[in-house]
């Protein structure tokens, strides 16, 4: 339990650090994302993941679906705002996702088979 709290302290401290950097340099980033990047960088430099950090991250990541639920629910209460737009939104999402899936698969498959033929390049 104390391990989780220590890990939580590290995560929250990185969130704060993210906050500070985003504010200071007026970055177009959310403080959470800035904190995540800083944490990844720190881990890459240390080359070691502490037990505390792992113990705190696992349950928080498992809770993500719960944490975004209040935002998801908003769609039912703000639906009027986008009335008349639903067909556009639906077409853009379905067609856009189909096209981007096709592009990624094709590109990645080509590049992997190319690097597979010449593995030592």
Partner 1 sequence: MSEFLLRLESLANMLPQRPETAIVLTLAAYFAGLRLFGWLRSPAWCPPILLAACLLAGLLALLPLDYTEYRRGVGWLTWLLGPATVALGVPLYQQLHHVRTLWKPIVLTLPPAAILAAGYAVSIAWLLDAPPTVLASLAPKSVTAPIAMGIVEELQGSVSLLMGALLITGVMATLSITLLARLGNIHDQRVIGFALGVNGHAIGTVRAFDIGPTAGAFASLGMSLTGVFTALWLPLMWHIMG
Within residues 50-109, the interface with partner 1 by CB under 8 A covers 53-54, 56-57, 60-61, 63-78, 81-82, 85, 88-109
Q: How far apart are CA 6 and CA 51, in angstroms?
A: 10
Site for partner 1 in 8-47 (CB under 8 A): 8, 11-12, 14-15, 18, 28-33, 35-40, 43-44
Q: How far apart are CA 44 and CA 12, in angstroms?
A: 19
**CB 119, min distance to partner 1, A:** 11
Q: How far apart are CA 41 and CA 34, in angstroms?
A: 11
With CB under 8 A, what is the number of residues at the site for partner 1?
72
**CB 51, min distance to partner 1, A:** 12
Question: Contact 58/9 with Cβ under 8 angstroms?
Answer: no
Token pair recorded at residue 85: 């737009």
What are the backbone angles phi and psi of residue 116, rounded to the nearest 5°?
-70, -35
Token pair recorded at residue 80: 């009027």
Q: What is the dihedral of CA 60, 65, 66, 67, to 10 degrees?
A: 70
**CB 20, min distance to partner 1, A:** 13
Residue among 20 and 49 whose Cβ is closer to partner 1 = 49
**CB 31, min distance to partner 1, A:** 7
Residue among 20 and 108 whose Cβ is closer to partner 1 = 108
Interface with partner 1 includes 117 (CB under 8 A)? no
């Amino acid at each position: 339990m104390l391990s989780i709290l220590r890990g939580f302290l590290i995560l929250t401290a990185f969130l704060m650090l993210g906050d500070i950097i985003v504010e200071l340099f007026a970055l177009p980033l959310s403080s959470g994302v800035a904190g995540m990047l800083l944490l990844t960088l720190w881990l890459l430099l240390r080359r070691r993941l502490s037990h505390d950090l792992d113990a705190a991250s696992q349950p928080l990541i498992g809770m993500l679906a719960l944490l975004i639920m209040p935002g998801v629910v908003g769609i039912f209460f703000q639906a009027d705002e986008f009335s008349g737009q639903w067909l556009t939104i639906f077409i853009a999402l379905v067609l856009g996702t189909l096209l981007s899936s096709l592009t990624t698969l094709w590109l990645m498959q080509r590049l992997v088979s190319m690097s597979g033929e010449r593995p030592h390049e």
